[in-house]
Amino acid sequence: MEKTMAIVPRFARSGLAVVLGCALFLALTAVAAPGALAHDRLKSSSPAKDAKVSELKEIELEFTSGVKFPVVVLRGPGDKAVKVDKPETEDQKVTTAVPVPLESGRYVIAWRVVSSDGHPIEGEIPFELTAPAEESAEPSDEPTSEPSDEPTAEPSSGPATEPASPVAASGDDTGGQGGTPGWIWLAVAAVVVVVVVGGGVWLAIGRKRPDEAG
């Protein structure tokens, strides 16, 4: 009976050691598994996702590890394909030249590569191209016209044009400053004419009366 009781703790200790060993193995596997199962991923890009750029001459993709068989497609406004050069791979980077100028609008870069562990990965990068602001015309420092070395026209030695003779002021012009208004002179002339005519008529009548009396 005592031997049996001594054997039981021994088996218990052995079983505990096996359980602890299994738990340690599972913990190490859980820690190492994500690193072993994780594929390469896109680390950065130019242009970046949802970025706003004024021009685009090259697309650059950088991954966490070396990749191969890259495919890069650029779609523009209206989901139209835009011509790009064949992508080139150097270490962890994939570059693609854009040979044509782009109009403003929304664009999407669609890419696909094969990671270092042989698994294909892909993704999309949307961005916006904004038209650059038009530069205002800079003021020119050059004078608009060069000064002429030729002398200006010489003054004429002949007599200057004679001034036109002044127009005689109208008799009824009352707007002039000073002088007697013209209508007064007309009234005076009318009175003189009446006096002269009346005097002549009076003299003629006076002469006829003595002749008639005789």
- For the stretch 35-48, pLDDT in tens is 445 678 999 999 99
Round to whole Å and give the CA distance between 60 and 116: 19
What is the per-residue pLDDT for 130? 94
The answer to pTM > 0.85 is no
Taking CA atoms, 130 is separated from 44, 53, 57, 133, 181, in Å, by: 21, 6, 14, 9, 82
Q: What is the pLDDT of residues 105-121, one digit of tens each?
A: 999 999 999 998 999 99
CB distance 188 to 194 below 8 Å: no
Least confident of 37-46, 135-144, 181-190: 135-144
Name the 3-class secondary structure at 56: coil
Residue 97: which residues within 8 A CB-CB, separation 6 or more?
Answer: 57, 58, 59, 84, 85
CB 45 within 8 A of CB 125: yes
Q: Which domains does the chain have, with CATH numbers?
A: 42-129 (2.60.40.1220)
Which of 54-63, 165-174, 183-192 bottoms out in mean pLDDT, i.e. has the lowest? 165-174
Note the pLDDT tens digit of each residue in 157-178.
Answer: 555 455 444 444 444 444 444 4
Of 77, 147, 87, the closest CA to residue 111 belongs to 87
pLDDT of the residue at 75: 97
The whole-angstrom separation of Cα 103 and Cα 56 is: 10
